[in-house]
Amino acid sequence: MNRETVTIGFDPGLATTGYGVVRMTAAGWEVVAGGVIETGKERPRAERLQEIYREAQALIEEYRPDGVAIEEVYLATNAKTAMRTAEARGALLMAAAEIPVRGYTPLQVKKRITGYGRATKSQVQAMVKRLLRLPETPKPDDVADGLALALCYLLDITGPGGSDDVYL
């Protein structure tokens, strides 16, 4: 690639949404930012979703990513949790409406980052640390997940047959 490429990965959750911003340059990948969007349980759900939307939109405005990766909602044993995660994902999709978005299941993230779809969370975190040449594993886990998602996007667009095709 001739220019820098910036991606944001979001790990959606109603209480905590993790994010990671990664830049790819000729010298390799580097972490630009990482953090969490937290919403208080005492607030109405609509307000919490609006906060996720606004903060994600502000991150997109600040870092001007070339693409966004958002973790797909997967079947969970707790339907209530899955529903709220899906709602948070919807708020993130709205915030990223103007740029390419790719969705990744947890299995796809594990496979892309570690090469093994049944990798443990700690194995994924260790590879994120290694791939991004970080001195420590990103904390909390939601940040590491956001960085892993951003890396998935970059791996897709730079790998064999890579493209900017949007996958939802």
Distance (Å, rounded) from C-alpha 52 to C-alpha 92? 7
11 an active-site residue? yes
- The band of 81, judged by pLDDT with boundaries at 50, 70 and 90, is confident
The yes-or-no verdict on residue 167 having pLDDT over 60 is no
Of 11, 66, 72, 145, which one is the catalytic site residue?
Answer: 11
Distance (Å, rounded) from C-alpha 121 to C-alpha 116? 12
Distance (Å, rounded) from C-alpha 33 to C-alpha 25? 15
Q: Looking at residue 14, what is its pLDDT?
A: 96
Q: 75 in a domain, yes or no?
A: yes
Q: 97 in a domain, yes or no?
A: yes
Distance (Å, rounded) from C-alpha 65 to C-alpha 58? 12
71 an active-site residue? yes
What are the CA-CA distances from residue 128 to residues 68, 87, 96, 133, 164 (Å)?
17, 27, 24, 8, 22
Q: 164 in a domain, yes or no?
A: no
Q: Which residue has the tokens 């307000």?
A: 47
Q: Looking at residue 99, what is its pLDDT?
A: 96
Could you give the angle at the alpha carbon of 79 between the alpha carbons of 59 and 10, nearest 5°?
Answer: 15
> What is the rounded radius of gyration, in angstroms, for the C-alpha atoms of the chain?
15
Contact 52, 88 (CB under 8 A): yes
Output the CA torsion sign for 104, 108, 110, 112.
Answer: negative
Distance (Å, rounded) from C-alpha 154 to C-alpha 120? 22
Predicted TM-score (pTM) of the model is 0.93
Of 55, 71, 72, 145, which one is the catalytic site residue?
Answer: 71
Q: pLDDT tens, 85-100?
A: 999 999 999 999 999 9
The yes-or-no verdict on residue 2 having pLDDT over 70 is no
Q: 146 in a domain, yes or no?
A: yes
% of the chain with per-residue pLDDT over 70? 92
Q: 114 in a domain, yes or no?
A: yes
66 an active-site residue? no
Average pLDDT over the chain reads 92
Of 66, 72, 142, 156, which one is the catalytic site residue?
Answer: 142
Domain total of the chain: 1
CATH assignment of the domain containing 35: 3.30.420.10
Q: Looking at residue 54, what is its pLDDT?
A: 98
Output the CA torsion sign for 123, 125, 128, 129.
Answer: negative
Q: 165 in a domain, yes or no?
A: no
Q: pLDDT tens, 109-152?
A: 999 999 999 999 999 999 999 999 999 999 999 999 999 999 99
The yes-or-no verdict on residue 4 having pLDDT over 70 is yes
Domain span including residue 138:
5-158
Q: Looking at residue 162, what is its pLDDT?
A: 52
Q: 168 in a domain, yes or no?
A: no
Q: 13 in a domain, yes or no?
A: yes
**Among the residues of 2-138, which ranges form H helices?**
45-63, 79-95, 106-114, 121-131
